[in-house]
Chains A and B, each alone.
Chain A
């Protein structure tokens, strides 16, 4: 199998000295960094997403904001959420956040899914849906803390952002990253992105003119971190950014119940089958009475 791991150079003939790059450990986990402080809400990423995924341009919903529609849709993976936030000092903040699949390290959708092969998580962190294996039960919708998977009622399949797994697999950045004109979107290894985010957070916190002491990185550890991370002006209130949960949780139905209680419960339910079988072996049938010719022995 030829991949980045196996094609790393190990030895070189007639080469003086050590092998270049020896001992280098390659980071495989990718991440998308969204710096909401530099987003201008141009929606180029929305258009790029629709174009790359070959989705038709669909009707939008006007709800007195700049937002294209209330939430992402099965054929609209990427949506800038707008929120006008009145701060305590009376000044206004116009918050814009690019909403899409967060590609959780511990994906609630994958845990909830009962269909073999409908959801996969790659070693690079991308969580992808395989619609040909999807059975349309929508448990993934219930398992997701970010309200991301969307159901297509016609085909009975669920869709969501793929982090352009097709592009990333070919060594390209996701379409939204390519389209971003302000450099608010970054793509690279998770480690690099976290470093970049921390540097930006530091810059925001110590800005000489407009310091933002609450600025921070959004990489929720309650689900093992995500492969889409944010730099927020105020990381203490992520809900302001179009309902980003401060402490995203997978319902226990899809963790403890599904993987511990369900198998145990099924075994207990089937134990009655074993029970009646041995009841017959031990006692035999209960026949209509009287049976004068019968002789019973405790043996």
Chain B
């Protein structure tokens, strides 16, 4: 399946690559190519424009705060559907771009089962079956796919009420809200985990690269795929290296303590005059 999609995507990735570049330094891995990064941030911009303009109309308490940002209530109403349409169109490319890595796999059920350990941080290394995206990321992706679909359909009913009639608009009004609220709920988790929650993640969407340690920690199966190495062994090797370095530093410290301390009353010392 989806060979044509993959071919289209491969072409798009290569074309976009010509407009920019991704510099992979020593000890780093390429995570997201230029094409993915441009799509992600275009989607993000449209998402927040649509979210803000939508919130202004959503709540009478937010109306006075947010609608001036878009030039008043009437302009907010005028722009909101276009922001939404922009979001859906760009997200469609994002959807095609990520369709294959986001496909749900049997192992993902297992991941969802151990979500508690993931959230509590008790487990330091992700299970070895976690590939390019973990099940949490996949859930976020599909939540946006279905949410955006629902927003698109219900949004059309509300955009052209004279065509669809008052009852459909009233139903769409509720569904539009529910889809948006779920996406608002999800976006904070997404932003948190990709920035302060898991340091080293944010640069994957800016510079496009991650460190090898980040990769074997969070996406071991992907690490194995791109490097052809065993993520657990590499982790252990790095751990041993760190232990050896600490041991060496400790022995150096011991040597330093045996030496006599430098004379504190030398004439060069500040404040001696």
Contacts and interface: CB of A to CB of B under 8 A. Distances in A.
Interface of A: 114-116, 133-139, 141-144, 147, 151, 156, 251-254, 257, 261-263, 265-266, 268-273, 275-277, 279-280, 283-290, 292-293
The B interface, classified by DSSP as helix, strand, loop or mixed, is helix
A135 B77 contact: yes
A139 B242 contact: no
Given A156-B74, A272-B186, A280-B197, 6 more contacts: A114-B57, A138-B162, A254-B173, A265-B181, A272-B185, A288-B200
Given A137-B57, A280-B197, A293-B246, A156 B78 contact: yes
Given A251-B166, A290-B242, A293-B246, A276 B199 contact: no
B192 A280 contact: yes
Contacts of B158: 137
A261 B181 CA distance: 11
Interface of B: 57-61, 63-64, 72-74, 76-78, 119-121, 124-125, 158, 161-162, 166-167, 169-171, 173-174, 177-178, 181-182, 184-186, 188-189, 192-193, 196-200, 211, 213-214, 216-218, 235, 238-239, 242-243, 246
Contact of A290 (B166, B197, B239): B239
Contact of B181 (A114, A151, A268): A268
Contacts of A293: 242, 246
Contact of B74 (A135, A138, A141, A280): A135
Contacts of A143: 166, 170
Chain A contact residues, majority secondary structure: helix
Contact of A286 (B77, B121, B211, B216): B121
Given A114-B57, A263-B59, A269 B197 contact: no
Contact of A141 (B57, B63, B64, B161): B161
A78 to B, nearest CB: 21
Contacts of B213: 288-290
B121 A262 contact: no
10 contacts: A114-B63, A138-B161, A139-B169, A139-B173, A141-B161, A269-B185, A272-B188, A280-B196, A280-B197, A287-B200
B166 A292 contact: no
Nearest to A114: B57
Contact of A114 (B60, B119, B192): B60
Nearest to A290: B239
Nearest to B77: A135
Contacts of B184: 266, 269-270, 272
Contacts of B211: 288
A114 B119 CA distance: 38
Given A265-B178, A289-B235, A136 B162 contact: no
Contact of B63 (A115, A156, A285): A115
Nearest to B56: A114
B120 A251 contact: no
A279 B192 contact: yes
A268 B177 CA distance: 13
Given A115-B63, A292-B239, A137 B181 contact: no
A276 B58 contact: no
B222 to A, nearest CB: 14
Scoring B74, B196, B197 by chain A CB atoms within 10 A of each residue's CB, the highest score goes to B74
Contacts of A142: 161, 166-167, 169-170, 173
Contacts of A252: 170
A133 B73 contact: yes
A271 B181 CA distance: 11
A143 B57 CA distance: 16
Given A135-B73, A136-B74, A254 B170 contact: yes
Contacts of B239: 290, 292
A136 B78 contact: yes
A22 B185 CA distance: 61
Contacts of B198: 285-287
Contacts of A289: 124-125, 213, 216-217, 235
A262 B58 contact: yes
Contacts of B238: 290
A263 to B, nearest CB: 7
Given A290-B239, A290-B242, A292-B243, A272 B181 contact: no
Contacts of A292: 239, 242-243, 246
B199 A285 contact: yes
A273 B188 CA distance: 6
Contacts of B186: 272
